[in-house]
Chains A and B, each alone.
Chain A
Amino acid sequence: MNGREFSAGLKAGTSIAIGYFPIALTFGLLAKTTGLSLLEATAMSIFVFAGAAQYIALSLITAGVAPIVIVLNTFVVNIRHFLMTASLNEKMVPDARWKKALYAFGITDETFSVLATQKDHKLTTTFAAGVIIIAYGSWVVFTSIGHLIGANLPQFLQAAMSVALYAMFIGLLVPSMRGNRKVVSLALIAGVINSLFYFTEWLSTGWAIMVSTLASAVFIEWISRKGGRKS
């Protein structure tokens, strides 16, 4: 365990912890109104650790949907992480399989984007552990607090904080975009394709993110190879 790597990870993960704060709080709150106990709400955050899937589960529980359907739905929503962890594997230093199996649990959209956009070429397991522990801690603790306080943050603050995670994604993307047309095109094309799915409702959110990401990544790779051969 390298202490400096670990605290660098904690530091890199702090913006996730801030971004999770309002979302986990609201989740705890909604779970309470759905009729889940403090233990049940917190357990979902402890064992599942997947924002979108947990929110959807709450609405499906309210709608009286069968548990097995909720589980299937969770799978569909989270299948996009296949793509992210395959990509992340290129970025991580090789390590014992059990360690990778352990930190794999902590890969969410947010921890993935923080890890994947780090400047160092290869990342250590210790660094990843730092990022994940602070993000996970925030998610679990604020789920409980949300359920416990059972009252809202001031409305205006809640509205303002709903931007937090997107602001983080933008803050991670912009430095890589500077003077790099490839990064700009990758993000832009994926955003456009995903918007198309969003407005036409051809695919549900989980699939839409996965398909638009893959389409953009393959397309840009194909273009740059063609261009490379010509020059």
Chain B
Amino acid sequence: MRYLPLSEADRGEMLQAVGASAIDDLFCDVPADALLAGPIAELPAHASELAVERQLTALSRKNLAAGEVPFFLGCGAYKHHIPASVDHIIQRGEFLTAYTPYQPEIAQGTLQVLFEFQTQVARLLGCEVANASMYDGSTACWEAIVMARRITRRTKAILSSGLHPHYVSVANTMAKFTGDVLNTSLPELNAATDADKLIAAIDGETSAVVVQYPDILGRITDLTPIAEAAHANGALLIAVVTEPVALGLIRSPGEMGADIVVGEGQSIGVGLQFGGPYVGLFATREKYVRQMPGRLAGETVDAEGKRGFVLTLSTREQHIRREKATSNICTNSGLCALAFSVHMSLLGEKGLRQLAQLNHARACEVADRLAAIPGVRLVNDSFFNEFTIELPVEARPVVRHLADNGILGGVSLGRLYPGADALQNGLVIAVTETATDEDIDALEAGLKEVCK
């Protein structure tokens, strides 16, 4: 077995050294009838590197990879080009195979990266502080709602109809157990967002209003009036960003008054990976930092006065506060945060802005072309790199039909909202810098065909 260094001779001598006559002497606390006599027969025996690689490669070929075909899916996960150096850096063993930086003197690499990541995230989202990352956007969103409850001591949150339905599902699942009351509704295929409805729903019991920006249909709205209305009632504004590239071009939620901004960072540096691992972003105001879940890296000095970094404010955390902790989270998405940070530092402000402009320009072009197809209606007035069109027919079978013809042509709202009749013709199209002219031609032709 290529991963196990002990030889049979080592094993024999070591058993002798520990005073055991056979390996099972060391398993003597296991009840005899529960100790298996040999390898579990239902599973195969060990295999060579060549054999495993072949088996898994064969499996991977049963998938249609995004890079192989015209590709227009978004809705919380985006395909962007990742510079080759990002993967090179995250595969360095000192990053890849390090543990949580519990011994800061020999973990300055990870700690400095997390400090830089926190700074990038706080600035991007327009907040004062950020943590060292969460599991993903959807769990960060729920943690933000719980944090707002801790701050306001209220339990009623209002969720925008433009919030990703899976994020709503996660929050609903958790709220069943925590007793939080969530006010939710389905989106409508309109250019207008539900800002007015949200503002009207805010009352003295509201802990937080949760909005997505850009929202699930790709719409963008000024969050300032919602923030003002929330604050006037003692509630917080939580903004969710699932496409952080957008913030290279549009105003940040923090700038518009959001108190907690969470996001899915997958778009920058992290691949699609069929849904995970991703990287949750979490930022807030400085005054709420002790209510923030997750890990934090902080600056300090060492015994010689040199600048260094440590994990800090751990008195909020599970390993010290146990049942009184701000959350049960005991990890972050360290490696994905590294990928985000490397990609972001390669982009820099200039590159991020160019990337965002390129995405927007490409998306505008595609929106115009698709809207010109007879029977197709462009739902959005505003968008960044993702928009919704209404087809004359149900979108789900269209998406399947396109996929059968080698085009991954967007996410049907029917997939996301299976029970909502009014949404079944909606198709959400994401256009990033990876879409070529030929890809766009193929999508246009495919949609023309089904709209005939």
Q: Please say whether chains A and B are actual partners in one complex.
A: no
